[in-house]
A and B are shown apart, each in its own frame.
Chain A
Amino acid sequence: MSQLDNACKLVDSNGVSILTLKGKVKITEATCLKELLIEAVNEGNPIRVDMSELEDIDITMIQLLFSARNKAATFDLEFNIFPISVQTKELLRTSGVLYELFNPNNV
C-alpha cells in the first residue's frame, strides 16, 4: 500500500540510514515501522529518524522507537531523532517520554 510506504520510509544517505516518518504513524503502521527499524539496525550504519513531518503518533510507535534505540545502543550505532515537528514533540511530552527519549544516559 502506497500510503503505508509514505508514512515510514528508510533511505540510505551517505552512509546514514535515514528513517522518515510522515503524517500519522500509529498502530496500523506499527508492523511496517518495526520492520524498517530492524532493517536499519541490521544495516549497521548510524540511524537518524526524521520526524519533521510527523503529525500524529501513538504508544506503539513510541515503544518501537525506544526498543530500536536500545538495540542500536547495544550494536554501538548512533541513533538520532532529528528534526522533529512541534506536534510530535508535544505528544512525546504528553506521553512522558520526551526526556527519556532524548537522554542518552538512559540507554
Chain B
Amino acid sequence: MSLDLQAIFIEEATYLLEDLEEAFLELESAPDDMELVARIFRAMHTIKGSGSMCSFPNLSAFTHEFETAFDRVRNGDIKITKELIEIGLDSHGFIGRMVKTLDHVNPSLREESKNILSRLHKYSPKEGADNPGIELDLSAPDEVVSLDWAHYRIRFTPNPGIFKYAIDPITIFKSLAELGEVCNVAYIKDIPDLFEINEFACYMSWEIIISTQDSRDKLVELFEFVEDDCEVNVEMINQENDFDDDYKRLGDILLERGDLTKEQVSQLFEKKPLVGEIIEESGLVPKEKIDSALLEQELVRSDREQKKQIVTNDSIRVSSARLEMQMDLVGELVISLASLHQLAVDRGDVKLNAISEDLEHLVTSIRDNVLGIRMLPIGGTFSKFRRLVRDLSSEQGKQIEMVTYGAETELDKTVIDQLSDPLVHLIRNSLDHGIELPEERAANGKTEKGFITLTAKHSQGHVLIEIKDDGKGIDPDIIWKKSQEKSLTNGDERPSDKEILQYIFAPGFSTAEAITNISGRGVGMDVVKRSIESLRGSIILESVLGEGTTITLQLPLTLAIIEGLLVEVGNESLVIPLAMVVECVETKKSQLESSRKGQLIRVRNSLIPCLPLQNWLGNQTHIPENIQIIIVNIDDEQYGLIVNDVIGQQQIVIKSLGSIYQSIEGVSGATILGDGAVALILDLPQIVKLFQVTEQV
C-alpha cells in the first residue's frame, strides 16, 4: 500500500514539478501575475500535502517552508523578486532530487536544503509575522483522497506535575504525527512570570487537530501513560459525508467546545459580523482558542472543497501503462478485424462483409479516440528548455531569450518522451555555438540579446518542430574543410553549400575537436539525426552565415499506427512506411539500366538507383522478371526498391521488437497481418546505408 502511494506520489510530483518550473519561468517575465503565484502555491501545497501522506515527511517539511513564503506573496505581503524566483527554481531542483531519493536526506541534500531555507527565511513570516494563516495551513489535508480519513480534535491539559514522571508531551506529539496530519496549537497563557516560574511544572496545554485513518482508540492509546493525571479529550470533529453547505460557524465551534456559552455567542453575534475579531476583542476566549477554531473551520472547509472537486472534476489521470495496454488491445482489434474482413471477402459473404465494414468504422473511431488520449501538448518539454537556456546562458555570459510558440501542439506521448534528448542537444548547440557573446553581437550590428525560437506546429499529418537561433550561423567553408580532413567527402569537387551543411550529420564529423574549434555545430549531430529517424521523423538544417541557423524536425503524430505499403519480396511480406513512398512503377528486370553502382531505373528522365530487397532478405536472391519498383524518398534522395509484388496499402499496427532486435539492421519493427503472419517493417534509411556500405567495397 505504501509503495503504491509512493509511486503515485512520484508520478504526481513529477507532473507538478513541471508545472512549477514553468510557472516560475513565466513569473520571471510577469512578476505581478497573481494567477501564477496562485499556481505555484497550489503546486507546492499539493506536493506538501501528498508528500506527508505518502511518507515523504522531509520533503513535505521543506515544501511547507516554501509554501509559507509564497503564501505571503499570494496575500500581497511581499513582492516577487528575482531572488525569490532563484530560490524557487533551486527549490524546484531540490524537490526533484528529494523525490528521486525517496525522501532520504543525504548530506549534500541537507546542505542544499539549508542553503535554500536560509535564503527563503528572509521572506518567511518569523520576521514579518502578521499572517496567522501560515501555521494553520500546516495540516490542511487537501490531498486526502481516501474516504476513510477522519478529523479529531484532541484537548490535552497535562497535570502540572507531569514532568516528574519523566513524561515529555513532545514525545506524544511525535507519535501523533506518525498517525496522520497534525496541527497543534499550544496554550501558553498560563505560563507564569520568569521570576516566579517553577521550571519543573507544566503550565501549557494543547489543542491538536489530527486527520488520520486510525481509529479514535488508537489516538487515546497514545495518552495512556498520562491519562490518569491529565485531562485528555478526543472527539471527532467532522463526519465524512457531511456535505452541509457551511460547516459550523466559528462561534458555534467555540460553543461546541465550551469555550463560550450560548448567551455569549448570541450577544456577540448581534454586534458585528466578523466573529473572529469580535470574540477576540471581547477577550472572552484567548486568541489561541480562536486560532484553533479557525483552523478547524479551515480544515473542514478545505476537506469539503476537495470532495467537491472529486465530484465535479471531469478529468482523470491514467497511468501510461494502462494506456499502453489499451493501445495494444486496439491493435489486436484492428488485426482481428483484418482477419474477419479477409474471411468475408474470401467467402464472398455479403452479410458478413457488411458486418465487417460496420465494425471497421467502429474500430477506427475507437482507435482514433485512444490515439487522441495518448496525445500530450509538447509544452511540458518546452518549459524544461527555457530553464536550460536560462541557466546556461548566464553561465556563459550570454544574453539569450528563449521564445516558444505552439506549446499546445499535441504529440504522441512516446514521441514526446523520446524527443527530449535530441532537442536538448540541438538547443545546447544553438546556445553554446550559435549565439555570440553580447559584445560580439553588438560589434556585428545585432542586438546584444540573442534569441532562440522554439516552434511546434501541425503540418500535413506531421508535427514540425523548429529550433531557430539568430546567432552566427554555420560557415560552409569550415565544414567543407573539416569534412575533407576527415575524408567524409567523395572527391574534391565542392558541392553546394546546402549539401555541405549535411556533412554535419555524418557519423564521423562530430569529434571533440569539432565541438570546440569549428563554427560550433556538429556535437553528436549524427546521434540526433538517428534518434529523430528512429521516431520515423526527419531533420532539416538551414543556416545563413552571420544570421543564424534553423533546424526543422518533422515528426509523425503517433508511433503506434502508421500507414504502410505491404509488399511481397521472395516469400515474405514486408511493410514500407507509406510516408516515404513516392510512387510504384511496374517494370521488367531486363529494362533496368546497369551501371558501376548497380541497377538504375529511368523515371521521367531521371535515373534512380535500385535496391533489390531480395538481396537484403538473403535466402532467396532470385529476382523474377516481372517486378515492381517502389520509389521512395529518403533524405531528399530517391531510391527504387525492387520487390516481387505490391499487396496494398494498409494501416499497420506497430509491434515493438524490443531491445533484442535493435541489432537487426534494416528493421524498425514488426506487425501482424490479417492472417496472423508476422511482417517486418523496413527501416529504409538503414537499408539504404546497408546497400551503400556494399557499394563502397
Contacts and interface: CB of A to CB of B under 8 A. Distances in A.
Q: Do chains A and B touch in the complex (CB under 8 A)?
A: yes
Per DSSP, chain A at the interface is helix
A4 interface: no
A91 B170 contact: yes
Given A66-B188, A95-B169, A60 B193 contact: no
Nearest to B118: A83
Contacts of A86: 113-114, 117
Contact of B197 (A64, A91, A98): A64
Contacts of A57: 170
Interface in A5-60: 26-27, 30-31, 33-34, 37-38, 41, 57-60
A63 B129 contact: no
B163 A60 contact: yes
8 contacts: A38-B194, A63-B188, A63-B203, A94-B184, A96-B173, A99-B132, A99-B135, A103-B129
B173 A94 contact: yes
Contacts of B173: 94-96
Interface residues of B, number: 41
A105 interface: yes
A66 B192 CA distance: 9
B199 A100 contact: no
B627 interface: no
Interface residues of A, number: 37
Interface of B: 61, 113-114, 117, 125-126, 129-130, 132, 134-135, 138, 163, 168-170, 173-174, 177, 182-186, 188, 191-195, 197, 199-200, 202-204, 206-208, 287-288
B168 A96 contact: no
Contacts of A63: 188, 191, 197, 199, 202-204
Contacts of A41: 194
A95 B170 contact: yes
A58 B170 contact: yes
A1 B134 CA distance: 41
B186 A96 contact: yes
A106 interface: yes
Contact of B188 (A26, A38, A97, A104): A97
A99 B136 CA distance: 9
A67 B174 contact: no
A77 B183 CA distance: 31
Given A66-B188, A70-B193, A59 B288 contact: no
A100 B174 CA distance: 19
B193 A95 contact: no
Query: Could you say which of A62, A67, A70 has the most chain B C-beta atoms within 10 Å of its C-beta?
Result: A67
B194 A68 contact: yes
B191 A67 contact: yes
Interface string A77-107: 0000000001000110111111110111110
A57 B173 CA distance: 13
A17 B113 CA distance: 30
Contact of B185 (A96, A103, A105): A96
B195 A94 contact: no
A90 B288 contact: no
Given A27-B199, A38-B195, A96-B186, 13 more contacts: A31-B199, A59-B202, A60-B163, A63-B188, A63-B191, A63-B202, A66-B191, A67-B194, A94-B173, A94-B177, A94-B182, A96-B173, A96-B185
